[in-house]
Structures are given as structure tokens and as C-alpha cells.
């Protein structure tokens, strides 16, 4: 389950908790002599706060950095409010009310942030790359095509890669020497964005390189340097504006560098291995 799907379930629980709090206030007013209502809401808030924390930890590597920071800050802020068992019922009533208000706010903000087109495109793009790597393991025909492309060089690999991404609704382009957008498949300048929007759900800048294990790091740096030449703004509302992908194709797996953030741009490094080891074999080499 992706973090988008998981968040939908968690957001529904947050809305339900908010509704329970409203009903309690509307029907009980200040009448809660034994504190049972507040105690029940407090338990629900504890569980949801723990689930928020678990959500952040589980998807720590895929959540947008700002969204994860907001969740972590909210968990730290709400934790003392919902875990207090020693204060009076009146005090806990105020604390739980504040916690519910904060939880309602974070649900609204995060639902908006995580459902944006940018995150939808990025998630689909990551799935396309993961799909490609697995195809190279299980589909002998596709693996043979990629081995041939690997021998031919960079252009052949980026053409196959462009078709793979388009299968997932992503039109990938690169930057030529003049800094202009170029279609990966046809190797021609891409000027008619309106045409692309008719068949693609998202657009992304990619730079593809072919490398050996010995020069993979240099090739990642070269791809990143070429991607920096692109200084134009968004192509359209479906352009992944804050990410640029440096993709290095190798025979066996290599460790890609971590993401590099420069201003508003995140350079994402990915390795596609045309003859990958299985995870168990690869782990024995570490």
C-alpha cells in the first residue's frame, strides 16, 4: 500500500475523531461528571496520534520532506496533551479539545499536500522505475532488449527508458547542449507541450547515462550537471517542477548517491541494472 492509500485511511480516522469530539461537545456541554467522555476521547486521540507517528516512520523515505516534518512536529506537540493522566478532568478536557483541533488541522493540510498533482506524478514515476527494474529480472525479452541498448550506449537506453515511463503516463524529456527540452525517443526538440498533455499525465526532466561500476559516481555527477542547465519554469500544471532525475544504467547494481537539494530543486539519483543480482545475493557482497 502506498502512502497515498494509507493516508486516506488515516485521514478518515482523523475526521471520525473530530466528529466524535463535536458530538460530545454538542450533546454533553459541560456535563461529564465522571470524566468518562473525556477519557474515551483521550484514548482515541492517543491511538490516532500513535498511528500518525507510525505513518511518518513507515514512509519516512517516500513522504515529501515538508509533510513528514509537519507530522513529526504535530506528534510532538499533541503527545503531552493526550497522554496526560494525572491532571483534573477539567484540565484534560481543555487539553483534549486542543489536541482534536490540531489533529483536524493537520488532516486538512496534509490531505491537500499529499493529494497534489506533484506528489501524484512523483509517486507514479517512482513506480515506473521500480517496475522497470523488476521487468529486467522476470522478462527475458525485455532484459535482452536492454542488454542490446546497453551495448549501443546512452541514447538507446534513454529511448527504452522513455517508452517505459510513458507506459506509466509519464513523458520524460532531457536537456540538449543549448538547454532546450528534447524528447527521449525521437531525439527532437519538444516545443508543443499541448500535444504531450493529450497523452501524458505528467512530465519530468531526466538525464540518462551508461556506466560501469568503476565510473558510475562520475556519471551520476555528469547527469546532474547536465540537468542543472535547465533553468526554465514549469512546462504546465503536469510538470514535476521540483525534481530532476539522474539515471545511470549499469550491468550490476551500484549504490546511487543520496538525493541532493539545491534551492527548490531535488536531484534524484537512480540506478537501473540490466543484469541485477537478487537482493539476497547482493546483501552477501556487503
pLDDT one-digit tens code per residue, 6-61: 888 898 988 988 888 888 777 666 666 566 777 888 888 899 999 999 999 988 87
pLDDT for the residue 212 = 96
The residues, any chain, with a CB within 8 Å of residue 95's CB and separated by 6 or more, are 81, 82, 84, 87
Q: Give phi and psi for 236, each to the nearest 5.
A: -165, -175
Q: Taking Cα atoms as reference points, which of 47, 46, 26, 24 lies closest to residue 93?
A: 24
Looking at beta carbons, which pairs linking 174-182 to residues 24 or more positions away fall under 8 Å? Answer: 174/205, 174/206, 174/207, 174/208, 174/226, 175/205, 175/207, 175/226, 175/227, 175/229, 175/230, 179/229, 179/230, 179/231, 179/232, 181/205, 181/230, 181/232, 181/235
The rounded Cα 147 to chain-centroid distance in angstroms is 29
| Cα–Cα distance measured from residue 78 to residue 104, given in angstroms and rounded to the nearest whole number | 12
Residue 12: CB atoms within 10 A of its CB come to: 11
Q: What is the pLDDT of residue 234?
A: 45
Tally of CB atoms within 10 A around 60: 12
Task: Classify domain 3-114 at the CATH topology level.
Answer: 1.20.120
Instruction: Provide the 3-class DSSP secondary structure of residue 262.
Output: strand
pLDDT per residue as tens digits for the range 53-79: 999 998 887 777 788 888 999 899 888
Q: Please calculate the CA angle 112-115-120 and round it to the nearest 5 degrees.
A: 150
Share of the chain above pLDDT 70, in %: 88
Q: Higher confidence at residue 109 or residue 2? A: 109
Where in the chain are the domains?
3-114, 117-284
Q: pLDDT tens digit string along 216-264?
A: 999 999 999 999 887 655 444 577 878 999 999 999 999 999 999 888 7
Which of 250, 212, 248, 244 is CA-nearest to residue 231?
Answer: 244
- What distance in Å separates the CA atoms of residue 55 and residue 68, rounded to the nearest whole number? 9
- Among candidate residues 224, 218, 214, the one with its CA nearest the CA of residue 261: 224
Q: Any long-range contacts for 222-225 (C-beta under 8 Å, 24+ apart)?
A: 223/247, 223/248, 224/260, 224/267, 224/269
Amino acid at each position: 500500500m502506498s502512502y497515498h492509500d494509507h493516508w486516506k485511511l488515516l485521514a478518515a480516522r482523523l475526521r471520525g475523531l473530530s466528529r466524535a469530539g463535536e458530538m460530545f461537545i454538542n450533546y454533553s456541554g459541560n456535563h461529564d461528571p465522571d470524566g468518562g467522555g473525556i477519557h474515551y476521547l483521550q484514548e482515541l486521540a492517543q491511538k490516532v496520534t500513535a498511528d500518525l507517528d507510525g505513518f511518518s516512520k513507515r514512509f519516512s523515505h517516500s513522504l515529501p520532506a515538508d509533510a513528514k516534518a509537519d507530522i513529526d512536529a504535530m506528534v510532538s506537540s499533541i503527545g503531552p496533551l493526550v497522554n496526560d493522566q494525572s491532571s483534573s478532568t477539567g484540565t484534560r478536557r481543555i487539553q483534549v479539545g486542543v489536541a482534536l483541533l490540531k489533529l483536524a488541522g493537520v488532516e486538512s493540510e496534509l490531505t491537500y499536500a499529499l493529494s497534489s498533482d506533484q506528489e501524484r506524478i512523483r509517486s507514479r514515476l517512482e513506480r515506473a522505475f521500480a517496475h522497470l527494474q523488476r521487468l529486467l529480472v522476470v522478462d527475458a525479452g525485455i532484459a535482452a532488449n536492454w542488454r542490446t541498448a546497453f551495448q549501443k550506449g546512452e541514447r538507446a537506453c534513454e529511448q527504452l527508458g522513455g517508452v517505459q515511463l510513458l507506459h506509466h503516463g509519464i513523458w520524460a524529456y532531457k536537456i540538449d547542449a543549448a538547454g532546450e527540452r528534447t524528447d527521449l525517443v525521437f531525439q527532437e526538440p519538444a516545443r508543443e507541450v499541448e500535444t504531450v498533455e493529450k497523452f501524458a499525465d505528467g512530465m519530468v526532466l531526466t538525464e540518462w547515462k551508461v556506466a560501469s561500476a568503476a565510473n558510475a559516481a562520475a556519471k551520476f555527477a555528469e547527469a546532474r550537471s547536465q540537468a542543472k542547465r535547465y533553468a526554465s519554469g514549469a512546462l504546465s500544471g503536469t510538470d514535476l517542477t521540483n525534481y530532476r532525475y539522474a539515471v545511470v544504467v549499469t550491468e550490476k547494481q551500484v549504490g546511487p548517491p543520496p538525493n541532493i537539494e539545491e534551492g527548490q530543486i531535488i536531484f534524484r539519483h537512480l540506478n537501473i541494472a540490466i543484469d541485477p543480482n537478487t537482493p539476497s545475493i547482493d546483501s552477501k557482497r556487503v
